[in-house]
Amino acid sequence: EPEVTQTPSHQVTQMGQEVILRCVPISNHLYFYWYRQILGQKVEFLVSFYNNEISEKSEIFDDQFSVERPDGSNFTLKIRSTKLEDSAMYFCARKLTGANTEAFFGQGTRLTVV
């Protein structure tokens, strides 16, 4: 199964700066997810995206976060004003359908806020 490509693989940013994480999924996959893993902790759900709109989001996904699919291909996660506690691995995942289909993950973007 083809991978989900995430860019960049690692980003270091100053606190308060905006970052955009990108995910390039397979074009015929309709369900996209962002997950986050703080170092040493379990993977946590951030947001799911279907049909060009958010279908579900967690309490972590506050007003500092936004997602979009600006060109019908790339799926982006934007953090408007980064905080130290945003430092984590961010994973994009895709599913072909919303039914019980397998989720495929990108290799992750390691975000370090300094």
Partner 1 sequence: KNEVEQSPQNLTAQEGEFITINCSYSVGISALHWLQQHPGGGIVSLFMLSSGKKKHGRLIATINIQEKHSSLHITASHPRDSAVYICAALNSGNTPLVFGKGTRLSVIA
Cis amide linkage into residue 8, ω under 30° from 0: yes
Q: Taking the complex as a whole, how short is the minimal distance between the CB of residue 12 and partner 1, in angstroms? A: 15
8 A C-beta contact, residue 9 and residue 92: no
For residue 18, give the nearest of 89, 76, 58 by alpha carbon: 76
H helix or E strand, kind and range, residue 32:
strand 31-37
Q: Taking the complex as a whole, how short is the minimal distance between the CB of residue 85 and partner 1, in angstroms? A: 18
**Of 13, 29, 44, 76, which lies in the binding site for partner 1, with binding defined by CB under 8 A?**
44
What is the contact mask toward partner 1 in residues 45 to 84, using x (rule: CB under 8 A)?
x--x-x----xx-x--------------------------
8 A C-beta contact, residue 90 and residue 36: yes
**Of 27, 42, 63, 71, which lies in the binding site for partner 1, with binding defined by CB under 8 A?**
42
Answer yes or no whether residue 87 interacts with partner 1 by CB under 8 A.
Answer: no
d(CA 95, CA 93): 7
The contact set with partner 1 (CB under 8 A) reads: 31, 33, 35, 37, 41-45, 48, 50, 55-56, 58, 89, 91, 93, 97-108, 110
